[in-house]
Structure 1
């Protein structure tokens, strides 16, 4: 299986990294909060609130990344190594996005987001042949 497809699998689970940070670092989340976790998450502040925002943004952008990888592979117009490198770069951009979000470095977070979107566009462009 191509590395890019493994990157799609990683991308599918990345939001849950944000969920884990939001819920389980610090204190407060337990069985009682699990009855209504969205209400609990809405009360968070600081880096935990930003981790939850990362989770939501990840759920929004992951389908575009997955589609770009699948389309690039199916059309077979780009070198597989190029697709793999772009997919790895996208995962890297998302990890940096998380780090910058947690650290409250808004400008760097936005830059990482724009780079990630550029990488999605690059996957489509390279597959155009």
Structure 2
């Protein structure tokens, strides 16, 4: 199985990593996890925001990658875009944690450009 398809699983795990960062070391009540995260501040709050954004970015990416794969976009191109997307999304989360909004927005834009590129390549057939 090509890296491009494995990248869908990796992208699905990224939000869980940011959630772990948000919860690590905080007083945590597993019966009310959303309340704990809603009261978070500082880097924990930003990690929770990164988690939420990672979930939002996952669906369009997964759909784009699957469509591009089904439309037989060359695997080398898929792998390249998968790698770029994952780098952008990891960068996005790290920029959230470090409170770097401009860099975070650029990472988001790069990730979204990868999604658009996958659809465009699929459309070209």
Give the Cα separation in 1 of the matches to 2:78 and 2:26: 41
User: 1:30-41, aligned counterparts within 5 Å?
Assistant: 33-41=29-37
Runs of 4+ in structure 1 over 6 Å off: none
Matched, 1:83 2:78: yes
Give the Cα separation in 1 of the matches to 2:67 and 2:79: 13
Gap regions ≥5 residues in structure 2: none
What is the CA distance between 1:27 and its match in structure 2?
Answer: 3.2
User: 1:1-129, aligned counterparts within 5 Å?
Assistant: 1-24=1-24, 26-29=25-28, 33-76=29-72, 78-129=73-124
| Cα RMSD after superposing both structures | 0.8
Give the TM-score normalised by structure 1.
0.93
Give the TM-score normalised by structure 2.
0.96
SS state at 1:35 partner: coil
